[in-house]
Amino acid sequence: MKRWKILNKIQNSKIKNQKFEIKEIIKALLENRGLKTQKEIDEFLNPDISKIDYKKAGIDIKDIKRSVKRIKDAVANNEKIIIFGDYDVDGICGTAILWESLYSFYRNVFPYIPDRVDEGYGLSCNGISNIKDQKSKINDAKLIITVDNGISANEAVDFAKKEGIDVIITDHHALPKILPKAYSIVHTTKLCGAGVAYLLAKEVLNKIKNFKREEDNHLELVALATIADLVPLSGSSRVFVKEGLRKLTATKRPGLLHLYKLAGIDNKNLGVYEVGYIIGPRLNAMGRMSSAMDSLRLVCTKNMQKANIYAGNLDRTNRERQVLTEETAIHAISLNQNLSSKIVFVYQAEYNQGIIGLVASKLVEEFYMPSFVLSVGEKYSKGSARSISGVNIIDLIRSVPSELLIDAGGHPMAAGFTVHTNKIEDFKQELEKKANEVITDDLLQRVVRIDLVLGFNDVNFDLYGKIQTLSPFGIGNPEPVFATQDAFVNDMNFVGRDKNHLKLKIEKDGVIFDAIAFGFGQKADFAVNDKIDVAYIIDNNSWNGNSKLQLKIKDVRKRD
């Protein structure tokens, strides 16, 4: 059973049907998001892209200036510059931002996305060797700028220096104990990798070219990357997404327009959900299953015909990725029916490296435990991990004795790592030991966080409209969840292809709402006429020009 945690308990009148003031509700929602002073509230409700502050974003301007100077010198000396990205949405978008910015005034700059299998994640000795290959047109590069990677690439940076290549690192992953000896490091954990690249690109254009964009078409890519990379929508990231979503609805990028069309997305209604669950996975699919360069080409191309070809390729590859992920997840779940640890840990030689992170996420959904999935190689095995609230997964991985871990990088909720294949069982045992020390039973219980307890008479379009001023919603700024107690189930129908969803009519004090409960078809323990407590999100259900409020159910408790 899920545990309900009510975040705010403002009290209304005891008079039956007395409503809350809407301003009281909004004030409580803001408090739940840690916003108490008028300045904090104003900045949250009225984000201003022109007021982005490097310090608040966690970036040292000195690092930016040192990086700009090196890029300026490279341009003056006509040196080849490599923008070394990553194969996920964040890396692709960040690479596009930095490459397009430099290429707008300097042609000797080239994007590079490593191959997941042959080169692995991020800047590597293998990747640098491929750049230095005599058959490569970029073999005489003198400067590499990483995007969304590099902060743990100590060995690769040292190798680059020996090869006469300077490295500028731009990254947002958790800092290791020892930083690489790069020419400069532009880093923060408060933004996505594309956000860091955007700020560097902005300074490059201002300081080197003295160029002012009339129309900034890179904010849309920062928003796309921020949402897809599950970066908390607070501070500067919220500002980027708020403005960037507006840009995405009006984008002129042919590749994105073709993706919208293939996915059946109406530009005007594009939001966090469409980016995170429809566009993002398609862009990610190439790096998981094939070459991420096609995703980069789609983002950057100005040719409508090529964009159409790229979009079709991404869409087909994503469907293949969906099938493979589902098959692998079913297999991984079947291996974990007798759980005795506080983590889920599976490894198989046949698991595709590109989808093990998605499989780990599905294991978390199924078991609600930190989950680790490894693709076993002959000598080295690549792993991906996903966590639950309250468990810092990258810290947990790095707590394992160093002789059992080749490398690791990531965030508190998601990480990647590499281990020696012959030490997988030793690594697993140490990980289980550490997990038993830091993970309590309470952390392994699913929690429904509820902003406020309301009556149905409090729920109306005025409240819904005010709630939307808190958007965009996502990680770090969840859509408000309310609860209503002692309601009645007036009607209930199973819907969906597999009848695994519920459509309900719920009544409280004479007020009736339609409700939809996704995924509740197999686990509903209530019936028509039962009294329930219900946790929900207020949703606007629009159809054929008509709008009606409905409740999107998060959880239901049957009352005795």
Q: Report yes or no on 72 lying in a domain.
A: yes
Which of 158, 188, 215 is where one domain is finished?
A: 215
Q: Are 236 and 56 in contact (CB under 8 A)?
A: yes
- pLDDT score at 211: 64
Q: Which two structure tokens, joined as six digits, stand for 70?
A: 């090196």
Alpha carbons within 13 angstroms on the beta-carbon side of residue 388 total: 24
What is the pLDDT averaged over residues 198-216? 81
What does the pLDDT look like over 48-92, one tens digit per residue? 998 888 999 999 999 999 999 999 999 999 999 999 999 999 999
Which of 444, 459, 476 is where one domain is finished?
A: 444
Judge if 20 and 122 occupy the same domain.
no
What is the pLDDT averaged over residues 328-338? 89
Judge if 19 and 66 occupy the same domain.
no
- pLDDT score at 497: 82
Decide if pLDDT at 339 tops 80.
no
Owning domain of residue 202: 51-215
More confident residue, 151 or 11: 151
What is the pLDDT averaged over residues 256-280? 94
Alpha carbons within 13 angstroms on the beta-carbon side of residue 551 total: 30
Residues contacting 383, CB < 8 A, separation 6+? 347, 356, 372, 373, 374, 375, 416, 417, 418, 419
Q: Give the 3-state secondary structure of residue 120.
A: coil
Helix and strand totals (H; E) in the chain: 18, 18
What does the pLDDT look like over 187-202, one tens digit per residue? 999 999 999 999 999 9
Point out the least confidently predicted range of 192-196, 203-207, 435-439.
203-207
407-410/414-420 β-pairing: antiparallel
Between helix 235-249 and helix 193-204 the angle, nearest 10°, is: 80
Residues contacting 322, CB < 8 A, separation 6+? none
The structural domain count of the chain equals: 3
Which of 197, 215, 233 is where one domain is finished?
A: 215
Judge if 31 and 57 occupy the same domain.
no
What does the pLDDT look like over 126-149, one tens digit per residue? 999 999 987 788 889 999 999 999
Point out the least confidently predicted range of 212-216, 311-315, 445-449, 482-486.
212-216
CATH code, domain carrying 349: 3.10.310.30
Residue 139 identity: N
Q: What is the largest CA-CA distance in the chain?
A: 82
Confidence band for 242, pLDDT divided at 50, 70 and 90: very high
Q: Report yes or no on 251 lying in a domain.
A: no
- pLDDT score at 35: 92
Integer Cα distance of 416 and 407 in angstroms = 8
Residues contacting 326, CB < 8 A, separation 6+? none
- pLDDT score at 387: 97
Confidence band for 18, pLDDT divided at 50, 70 and 90: low
- pLDDT score at 560: 77
How many C-beta atoms lie closer than 10 Å to residue 103's C-beta? 16
Q: Report yes or no on 262 lying in a domain.
A: no
Confidence band for 15, pLDDT divided at 50, 70 and 90: very low
pTM of the model: 0.93
Alpha carbons within 13 angstroms on the beta-carbon side of residue 471 total: 14
- pLDDT score at 16: 44
